[in-house]
Amino acid sequence: MYKRILLAYNGSHAGQKALLDCHDLVQWSQAELFLIAVMPLSMGLVGLEGGIYSKEFEDSEKKKYQAVLDDGLARLAQSGHTARGEVLVGDSVDEITGYATRIDADLIVVGHRHLDSWAARWWRGSISGALIEHAPCSVLVVITP
């Protein structure tokens, strides 16, 4: 039985489906829910000399990810669930697996949408695939068409 479930949420259609699909699982297991949104590290501007840090850009991005997290928490609340939420900054796989370890999660739930072209799959990579390799617990990948 799952006691602590971590939902990695990015606001996408696949992420929203993962939130909705976890409803029965949480009801069945009476698990404690944790919701995270991971903001990738990025530089505001990139020139010939490398990256240039922009505090304004970072603050703007944090607000976007906080809005995504707040949306996910509201969706969970509408379906009768209470969850703790946090915006993390860094590599998605590292942040998700690190957070799962810190909270001693039994299950990580992520959404995934199949990409049509090989170039899109190559460029984007697979966060869900990497999670399966590195996660400290079980991973449920919710597939959307």
Alpha carbon distance 63, 87 (integer Å): 10
H or E segment to which residue 131 belongs: helix 127-134
40: which residues sit within 8 A by CB, 6+ positions away?
Answer: 89, 90, 91, 92
Q: Domain 4-144 carries which CATH code? A: 3.40.50.620
pLDDT computed for residue 121 by the predictor: 46
| Nearest residue to 35 via CA among 89, 78, 76 | 76
9-23, 29-43, 70-84, 98-112 — most confident range: 98-112
- Which tokens sit at 55? 């505090």
Alpha carbon distance 74, 90 (integer Å): 24
pLDDT tens digits, one per residue of 25-80? 666 667 899 999 988 876 454 444 555 667 788 888 889 989 989 988 998 888 88
Helix and strand element counts for the chain (H, E): 5, 7
**Amino acid identity, residue 67?**
A
